[in-house]
Chain A
Amino acid sequence: MQLAFLCFLPFLASIFNGFWYLFAKKPWKMAAGVVSTLALFTSFCLASALAFHDVTFSLPWIATGSFELPFVLRLDHLSSIFVLVITGVGTLIHIYATVYMAHDSGIQKFFAYLSLFCGSMLVLVLGGSLPILFCGWEGVGLCSYLLISFWFDDSEKAKAGAKAFIVNRIGDVGFLLGMFVLFQACGSLDIETLTHAQLSPTTVLIACSLLFFACTGKSAQIPLYIWLPDAMAGPTPVSALIHAATMVTSGVYLVTRLHVLFDAAESLHIVMATVGGVTAFVAATIALVQDDIKKVLAYSTVSQLGYLFLACGVGAYEAAVFHVVTHAFFKALLFLAAGSVIHGMDGEQNMWKMGGLKKAMPVTFATFTLGWLAICGIPPFSGFFSKDEILFHTFTSGHTGLWALGLVTACMTAFYMTRLYIVTFLGTKHTHAHESSWGMLAPLCVLACLSALGGIFGHMISHTLAFHAEAESSQLEWILMLVSACIAGLGIALAFFMYDESRQPIRARIQKQYGWLSTALAHAWYVDEAIDLVLLKPLRQIYGFVWRTIDVLCIDGFIMLLASGGRASGDVLRLIQPGFLHISIACMVMGAFFIMGYMVYGQL
């Protein structure tokens, strides 16, 4: 029963805030934040109480004839990890957001959407059967749409929200089709029965590839990642919660939840791994030249998600989950820190306009440093352990090419994160910026500790996961650890070398020489423009064309033809009756002659 309560609490908070926003405007602004945070915090406590127990809760939902679709929530080992991350990081972000959004007029609406999001995310993670998971899946998509276009006055942000929703919908169609294939094959959509059902390899392959396509939509992989960078139009807490910690990992959750099916689809593994690897690499290249803090972090998220799918591709599901957890910590930390920087700089997001914030915002600087070290993969911090585990498994499973690609990406990650770090915090320029209040800094510190200690915590949970965790020779493991640590160090050194104040002329020369490359990277390899040109423009022509020809021309035309046909034939017939008496008599006579002729002829 607590599971239901855990899952529905955020929904209640959302409904409360929603009504409060629509019907009562006057009260104390911060209350909305408090209500949502409390709701999520109680969910967190419930989750930690129920952690790692197998609890199920079910309500009858749709039942027609033989087809039963109850609303089932199931908590088990895997989902409890995700629930803890969602509620834990979520609560921290809620506290942060209460302060961050304090002066915004639509704060109740904001927290209504945020709680709705947490509720749907919990439904997604706890969903016992695929349709319930799908409900959470689309609910989350809806909330990301509502939150991205939260400041809807500026139509750019509204368009970004719509783009995110539509791209997610494309993925969801894949999810739907995958579900139908599975239902047709094994008659039920419950995850338990699916994992134990014997399905023919082809149906499993088709279903898994469709579901994987859905994951690329939701977790921003190669074909459908274009929405995540634009999703930065939303407020920073939204980016932190949705586009860093929780929603984007739902794709990985789906794959790990159905890992039995995905294991069965052998040929899909290499596809998943390569898609993950290539996404990581491409996103990292783009992040190298971004000027907006949030864009850098967005592409870094896409890149880290690439790692996750790389891990899933090579079958290292525990490594993937471990990285999800650590990534949630340090990426949320980085986003929130960036948020407090933006807050301090009154909305300025271009990092070149900042610099030397070390002195102006010491606490943010300190927490950002911890986050930075974690994401670069420096040994004691969490990022190192999880990323190394993924690379290790990629290496041991024989995909050395992908391992190399992973290493290069790790180096690039270290490079662009350090670039961001130096340009915003170090340097002699001292821009004036006021440090954020403690309401925002406290969550930062908590997240900083988590991302620092995350590594140890990770080892504990990865060994308890029931998947096939076989012990590798530790000697090879140590060597690989050393290699990845050096790579990270190399990246950081290179960045320090490049972005030190005195190195300005060298950067200018490189800029001049590889100008075309940097503009290409700045425009994200012109992917958006290409899609627009290749896909959207012709589609718009088609819509217009279809309406004009089929609807207006063919069908209406045909009917108008019928109508005018009737009128025209009427006119023609009218001419036959001229009204001259003698002509009619003549016709009558001729008629009589013919009849007589016929009668007579008939007689003969």
Chain B
Amino acid sequence: MASYSSHLLSLLVFLPAAAAFLGLGARGLGLLRRDVALWYGSLFVTVLTFGLGMMLSPNSEEKYTWIPQLGVSYALSLDGLSVWFVLLTLLVMPIALFASMHAIRDRVAEYCFHMLLLETAVLGSFLAADMFLFYVFWEVMLVPMLFIIGIYGGKERLFASMKFVLFTFVGSACMLVSIMVLVYMHKLQFGVPSSYLPDLLRVHGAIIPSRLLFSAFALAFLIKMPCFPLHTWLPDAHVQAPTAGSVILASLLLKLGGYGLVRIAFPLFPEAAHFFQPLGMALGATAVIYGAWVAIVQTDMKKLVAYSSVSHMGAVVLGLFALNSIAMAGSIAQMISHGFATGGLFLIVGMIYERFHTREIAAFGGLARSMPKMAFFLVLMTFASVALPGTSGFVGEFLILLGAWQTMPVYAGIAALSAIFGAVYMLKWIERILYGQAKSPSLAVDLSHREILILLPFTLGIFWLGLMPGSFFHQLEPSILKMQFFLTTGGYHHG
């Protein structure tokens, strides 16, 4: 595939970071005195990056040697798979910033700094083609997230941010070790060490170590996913994070787990992927059901949505581990649709919190009467996340279950039950807050135009992916084929 190196990628990645430091410096020198200037400045930057992102062609590449001794190269590449995640990031960032304008009052300079730094880190991770660079961005991403949750969060924000960071650290530590081992194996076989992904794909190791390495990578990505046994950091992080933090956490950070599996873990160790397939699918299926069951008993809105994310990501894990093209396309579609639906849900929960200052479901009632617009968006987002046909959720869920049924019917069957439990917890929640008698009607002010503008992109995204996903799958095509090539042939020639 023709790929021409363009400096656009590096510009895209580092523009937000540059603006972040600039903003902080300016505030230090006393230039951008008023907060409003900072808000709109950073908003302008994110919109600018969005524009820049639009100009990218989906298979541009960029590679420079960085640390020759270690074989580390500064390599960014954009292909059919990562283009969607990059676009999602570019879309979510301005929305998150715009949504947090009213919520965050003090320490605005640091807040903008962290948000822009976060954007750079996330863009970098999605674009990185060098394992070392990927790891660097993967770690850098934690720092701003830690501060966003740690400073601007709820009451026990320190505990939550600590838990979030430690969980991810454990995973990334294993990942770093396996990256090092891989680079070393590359050195053994090809003389020169290199952590550039295409080079590493040529490395073929014996069975046992490649399984070990795969499980190390998988651990890091499954924690980030989050998948069933390793998910307890998500509800705490979401409950304590500010609205924008939750949206970014839900829409972007969770996708890195899935992206990592597809881009790194599976192609590098195809044989191990096939070996761990039953376990992976079992975990996915249990996560789906477990997430739904636990969500039913939640009383805090954000926790409920967090557990619904666990359930959706479980479906994604199921789809990914099914290792066939339909399920893989489905899980990527599900990831993007989860970004839209759950991001939207968190925004709405944030708006409700701004009005009522409580997230306890029991404290609400009869909002549909006084807030019809909010009710419309809430019902739409809910049904998108319950995979109703016509919304993006259905496209993802249907393809995942269809693909997973080809390989492991039992697990696909279990995951299909999620449609019921999903409906139960979503309707229970909606019914509690939207219908019935109004509990505090005075506070219930309907959405302002600003808030509708915030929710609009996600709504359009849901309908775009739900009704016209043609362009989405067309772009995804080459990467899925490449993945299939690796999984079928790559896996067994040295099996």
The closest CB in chain B to the CB of A138 belongs to B389
B394 close to A (CB within 8 Å) = yes
A138 touches B294 (CB 8 A): no
B436 touches A142 (CB 8 A): no
Q: Which residues on the A side are within 8 Å of B474 (C-beta)?
A: 63
The count of A-to-B residue pairs whose CB atoms sit within 8 angstroms is: 139
Minimum Cβ distance to chain B for residue A333 (Å): 32
Partner of B401 from the list A65, A136, A180, A556 (CB cut-off 8 Å) is: A180
A544 touches B297 (CB 8 A): yes
Q: Which residues on the B side are within 8 Å of A149 (C-beta)?
A: 431, 435
B353 close to A (CB within 8 Å) = no
A262 close to B (CB within 8 Å) = no
B420 close to A (CB within 8 Å) = yes
A22 close to B (CB within 8 Å) = yes
B366 touches A153 (CB 8 A): yes
B232 touches A166 (CB 8 A): no
Minimum Cβ distance to chain A for residue B164 (Å): 12
Number of interface residues of A (CB under 8 A): 53
B296 touches A543 (CB 8 A): yes
Q: Which residues on the B side are within 8 Å of A67 (C-beta)?
A: 325-326, 399, 402
The closest CB in chain A to the CB of B476 belongs to A64
Partner of B325 from the list A65, A162, A547, A559 (CB cut-off 8 Å) is: A65
A155 close to B (CB within 8 Å) = yes
A543 touches B431 (CB 8 A): no
Q: Which positions 409-445 of chain B face chain A at CB distance < 8 Å?
A: 409, 412-413, 416-417, 419-420, 423-424, 427-428, 431, 434-437
Q: Which residues on the B side are within 8 Å of A180 (C-beta)?
A: 401-402, 405, 409, 412
B14 close to A (CB within 8 Å) = no
A184 touches B431 (CB 8 A): no
The closest CB in chain B to the CB of A552 belongs to B232
Number of interface residues of B (CB under 8 A): 61
Q: Which residues on the A side are within 8 Å of B424 (C-beta)?
A: 166
Binds B, one of A170-178, A477-485, A591-599: A170-178
Query: A62-B469, A64-B473, A153-B435 in contact; A22/B420 too (CB < 8 A)?
Result: no
A28 close to B (CB within 8 Å) = no
B389 touches A166 (CB 8 A): no
Query: A162-B427, A166-B420, A173-B419 in contact; A135/B390 too (CB < 8 A)?
Result: yes
Bound-state Cα–Cα, A170 to B163, Å: 37
A22 touches B401 (CB 8 A): no
Q: Which residues on the B side are within 8 Å of A183 (C-beta)?
A: 402, 405
B473 touches A162 (CB 8 A): no
A155 touches B470 (CB 8 A): no
Minimum Cβ distance to chain B for residue A463 (Å): 36
Q: Which residues on the A side are within 8 Å of B325 (C-beta)?
A: 64-67
The winner among B232, B298, B412, B474 for most chain A CB atoms within 10 A is B232
The winner among A145, A169, A184 for most chain B CB atoms within 10 A is A169
A372 close to B (CB within 8 Å) = no
Q: Which residues on the B side are within 8 Å of A134 (C-beta)?
A: 389
Interface SS of A by simple majority? helix
Minimum Cβ distance to chain B for residue A44 (Å): 23
A550 touches B389 (CB 8 A): no
A142 touches B431 (CB 8 A): no
Q: Which positions 362-410 of chain B face chain A at CB distance < 8 Å?
A: 366, 368-369, 372-373, 376, 379, 383, 388-390, 394-395, 398-399, 401-402, 405-406, 409
The closest CB in chain B to the CB of A71 belongs to B467
Q: Which residues on the B side are within 8 Å of A138 (C-beta)?
A: 388-389, 394
A556 touches B232 (CB 8 A): yes
The closest CB in chain B to the CB of A21 belongs to B372
A165 touches B427 (CB 8 A): yes
A543 touches B293 (CB 8 A): yes
Mask, A477-515, CB within 8 Å of B = 1, is 000000000000000000000000000000000000000
Q: Which residues on the B side are within 8 Å of A173 (C-beta)?
A: 416-417, 419-420
A residues neighboring B (CB under 8 Å) = 18, 21-22, 60-67, 109, 131, 134-139, 142, 145-146, 149, 152-155, 158-159, 162, 165-166, 169-170, 172-173, 176-177, 179-181, 183-184, 542-544, 546-547, 550-551, 555-556, 559
B residues neighboring A (CB under 8 Å) = 163, 229-232, 290, 293-294, 296-298, 325-326, 329-330, 366, 368-369, 372-373, 376, 379, 383, 388-390, 394-395, 398-399, 401-402, 405-406, 409, 412-413, 416-417, 419-420, 423-424, 427-428, 431, 434-437, 467-470, 473-474, 476-477, 480-481, 484
Write 17 A-B pairs (CB below 8 A) sorted by A numbering: A61-B467, A62-B469, A64-B325, A65-B480, A66-B325, A67-B399, A138-B389, A149-B431, A152-B434, A165-B423, A172-B419, A176-B398, A177-B416, A180-B405, A180-B412, A544-B297, A559-B163
**4 closest A-B pairs by CB:** A135-B389, A158-B435, A152-B435, A155-B436
